[in-house]
Amino acid sequence: MKKLVPSVFLLYIALLALFTALVIVVHMIPRAAIEPQFKQSVEIFTREGMYPIKSSLDGRVVVDNYTDCYMHNVAYCADASHPVDAAMRNYRYRDDLDMIVTMNHLADGKMIAEPFEYGKYWHGYQVFLRPLLAVMDYGKIRIVNGIILSVLLIIALWLMARRLSIGVALCFVVSLYMVHSAIIPWSLQFSTCYYITLVSVIALLGFRRLSATSHRLALCFFAIGAVTSFLDFLTTPVMTLGIPLTVVALKDGRYCRCRVVLALCVAWSLGYGLMWVSKWGMAYLLAGYNPMDQVTDSVYLQSVGRGVKPVWVFWRNTLDLLMKRWSVFVSTGLMRWAVVAVLAIPALVAARDRKTVNRHAALLIIALLAPLWFFVVPRHSYTHFFITMRALIVCWFPSLCFLYSIIDFRKLKLRLRLFRHDASAGAGSEV
C-alpha cells in the first residue's frame, strides 16, 4: 500500500496533464476546417431524425442521433482563437427544443441565442471527433468507426480464445448479442465505452506484465476508470469495469476473489471520480469557469429527478423495464432463457466440485455491478434505458462465464452416455 499510493498519484498527475493537453490541442483546429463536413453531417441528421430505428443482426434498435448531434454541436461551437477557454468551457448551442432545427440554425449561421457552457464533462471524445470532422463527415466517420470496432473485437476474441478458452470467447459474443451491440458503429456515443472495454481487454490479455502483480493491476483499473471519465458521455461506464474485471478473474485465479474484485472496483471508481472532479478544478484554474452549479443541478436531476417523483419510483420503473426484457412471454425473453438454460442445465447436472464453484463465485459479484449502477443513478438509467440497458452486458458476461467455468465436461459427457444408454434400453424393452 505504501508503494501503491505514490504510484497512483504519479499516474493521476500524468493522466491529468495528458488529458488537459489533448483537449486544448484539438481545440486549436479552426472552425473553417470542420465547417464543410459539419454541414454535411447536419444533412445526415436532418434526413435520419433524432432517434432513427436501425435493423441489425440482433433486431431493430433505436440509435441516439440526438447525443451525437450534441457532440457535433460542441465540436463546431469551439472558438479556436481561445483554445484553452473552449476546451474548459465546452460551449454548445441550442435555441429550439428540436435539436435538428437547432443544428440547421447553427450550420446556416442563423443563431438566435448565444452558446452556453457545458463544461461538467471532459468531452474527451473531441480528441477524435474534431480531427475526423476536419477530413470527413458523419457518414464516413460511422464507416471508420465500424471498421475499427470490428478489428478490435476480432483481436479481443482471439486473445480470449487463446489466453482463456474458446468457451469464454463465445460467452462474450453471446453477451454482446444480448444487449444489441451490432448497432454500436452507428452511434459515436454508444461506441465510447466499447472502445475502452475492448482496448482494456486486449491490453490485459496481450501484455501479461500489466497483471503480473496486484500493484500493477490496481494502476491499470485506476487508468481505465480515468479514461472512461475523460471520454464517456455517461452512457454505460460500468461496462469498462465489469468486462475487464471478468477477464482478469478468469485469467488468474489469484484475482478471482471477492476482496480482490472489490479492491479493483475501488481503484476504478477512484480513477473515474477523481478525474471527473479534476475537470471542474482545471476549468476554474485555466479558464476561470466554475461549473459547480451546473454539476450540482445535474447530479440531483440524474439521481432523484428534482423531487418530481420519489427515487423509489425510478427504481420500480427500471425494474419493470428489466423484467420486460427478461420476460419468458416474449420471443426475446424466451431466447434469453434458452441461452441461460444451455449452460445452466449442464452446470446443475455435471457441476465441478464445491471448491471450484466457490473459486469462481467472485464472477457473480461482478455481475451485480450493473444493477448497482442502476440503483445509484436511477433516473438517468430509467430515462435513457435504450442507452443504459447495454450495461446489462456486465450481468451477462460474468454470469455465463461462471456457468461455463463450473461445468465438468467429462462428467457431462459421461452423463449423456448413460442417458442415451438408458433411453435405448427403455426403447428396446418396449419393443
Inform me whether the pLDDT recorded for 411 exceeds 70: yes
305 or 360, greater pLDDT: 360
pTM over 0.75: yes
Residue 421 falls inside a structural domain: no
Given a cut of 80, whether residue 178 has pLDDT beyond it is yes
Q: How many domains does the chain have?
A: 1
Angle between helices 166-178 and 393-405 (to 10 degrees): 150
Look at residue 428 and tell me if it is in a domain.
no
Among 75-79, 153-157, 412-416, the range of highest mean pLDDT: 153-157
Q: Are 346 and 407 a contacting pair, CB within 8 Å?
A: yes
Confidence band of 261 (pLDDT split at 50, 70, 90): very high
Read off the pLDDT band of 341 (50, 70, 90): confident
CA distance linking residue 351 with residue 374, whole number of Å: 32
User: What distance lies between CA 306 and its chain's CA centroid?
Assistant: 26
Identify whether 334 is part of a domain.
yes
Give me the domain span that covers residue 28. 4-411
In a domain, 167, yes or no: yes
Query: What does the pLDDT read at residue 331?
Result: 55
Three-point CA angle 172, 176, 178, nearest 5°? 115
Greater model confidence, 352 or 190: 190
- Nearest-CA neighbor of 34 among 87, 71, 61? 71
Task: Read off the pLDDT band of 211 (50, 70, 90).
Answer: confident
What is the tens place of the pLDDT at every residue in 311-326?
667 777 777 777 776 6
Per-residue model confidence (pLDDT) at position 376: 85
Buried b vs exposed e over 191-200: b needs ≥16 C-beta within 10 Å? bbbbbbbbbb
What pLDDT is attached to residue 126?
95
Amino acid letter, 150: S
Average pLDDT over residues 352-357: 80
420 lies in a domain? Answer: no
Give the number of other Cβ atoms within 10 Å of residue 4's Cβ. Answer: 15
User: Which one has a higher pLDDT value, 431 or 309?
Assistant: 309
What pLDDT band is residue 430 in, cutting at 50, 70 and 90? low
**Domain assignment of residue 416, yes or no:** no
Please tell me the predicted confidence (pLDDT) of residue 4: 85
Cα separation, 230 vs 345, in Å, equals 42
Instruction: Give domain status of residue 423, yes or no.
Output: no
pLDDT value at 374 more than 70: yes
Q: Which among 302, 85, 122 is positioned nearest to 229, based on CA atoms?
A: 122
Residue 327: per-residue pLDDT: 62
Average predicted confidence (pLDDT) for the chain: 86
State yes or no: pLDDT of 400 exceeds 90: yes
229 part of a folded domain: yes
